Amino acid sequence: MDFEIRVGLGHDTHRLQRGGPLRLGGINIDFDGHLDGHSDADVLLHAITDAILGAANQGDIGELFPDTDAVNAGKDSAEMLSVANERIRGAGWQIMNLDCVVLAERPKLLPHRASICQRIAEILSINPDQVSLKGKTGERSGDIGQGKVMQSICTCLLRRNK
């Protein structure tokens, strides 16, 4: 083979608090809760950032943007994902696809899926059809099912010419 491929995995959790809108996948969703965290707490973009950094073996989001650094407070996660994308592209990697899951009891993801995939593709300069997104509930059990937290998991495939 004249190219190499690498797979990456990202995972993230944030607490859900009262009051919207919900920032998810780089867009604002009309909802009665929002995610809590040091940055804008976009659980999906954080999982994607870690997946692409992991595939390229370039560390993780916490190393790039420490939550102890005041400069990262309230930071737009799209900006963090762009920086990670530039870093892996700089090492010669190109994203083949992302497969993402958002675990949340509410809101329903389906009505927002196309806009989220579009936004993620835009941030990464890839085609929306390279981004897959699925929503899963917690079946009313555990912290996800009781609406206390939202989680996201993402896998990513990278390719680089030798």
- Interhelix angle 77-90/110-124, rounded to 10 degrees, is 50
Least separation in angstroms between CB 59 and Zn ion? 15
What HEC string does 23-67 produce? EECCEEECCCEEEECCCCCCHHHHHHHHHHHHHCCCCCHHHHCCC
Distance from C-alpha of 65 to C-alpha of 15, rounded to nearest angstrom:
19
Least distance (Å) from Zn ion to the CB of residue 61?
Answer: 7
Q: What's the min distance (Å) between Cβ of 14 and Zn ion?
A: 6
Closest to Zn ion by CB, 12 vs 105, is 12
Q: Which of 150, 155, 133 is nearest to 42 (CA)?
A: 150
Rounded distance between C-alpha atoms, residue 62 and residue 8, angstroms? 16
**Interatomic CA distance for residues 105 and 127, integer angstroms:** 29
**Helices 43-55 & 110-124 angle (0-180, nearest 10):** 40
Binding residues for Zn ion, rule: CB under 5 A, are 12, 46
- Residue 62 or 92: the one with the smaller Cβ distance to Zn ion is 62
Nearer to Zn ion by C-beta: 83 or 96?
A: 83
79/159 with CB nearer Zn ion: 79
We find the least distance from the C-beta atom of residue 62 to Zn ion, in angstroms, to be: 9
* Minimum distance of Zn ion from residue 122's CB (angstroms): 20
Of 21 and 90, the one with the shorter C-beta distance to Zn ion is 21
Q: Which residue is nearest to Zn ion (CB)?
A: 46
